[in-house]
Structure 1
Amino acid sequence: MKKVFQNAKLQVKMKGQDNPEGVTRTLSNVAENLTDAQIAIIKNFMQAITNDAVSEMKQTVANKLEMEPASAE
């Protein structure tokens, strides 16, 4: 059995004057292993285009399993 990377998403929760409770924005198809520098770039970009503040970020990685057939003995 082998684990193969399939997909990654980044959920960004943002709060602001128009969204005091916060709103979650999802970015699909991000890299599997984001660095701290890449996360900082995304955070700064999202804050710049929305005028909201990032309150939380969470990455979800989905993998698929490739199973090899059992050998017949």
Structure 2
Amino acid sequence: MNTGNDTEGVAGRAVPVDGGVADRDLAGPLLSGADTATVTALLGLHLVPATVVIPVLARSRRARTG
């Protein structure tokens, strides 16, 4: 029975899931058929937040587990 206190299990899955979501998010700009400048801007707008969020989640996970 999950009582909602399974922070280690949830945190352990968060970073790989977020990395996978970020990877799939990149497909949209690449497949959009837009010009190079637009694709570059869209990729940057996806990658910059991912480079901030994923390490923050990883640090949060380490702080909770050990």
Please classify the TM superposition score into its range, dividing by the shorter chain length: 0.3 to 0.5
* Higher normalized strand content (fraction of residues): 1
* Higher normalized helix content (fraction of residues): 2
TM-score (norm 1): 0.30
TM-score (norm 2): 0.33
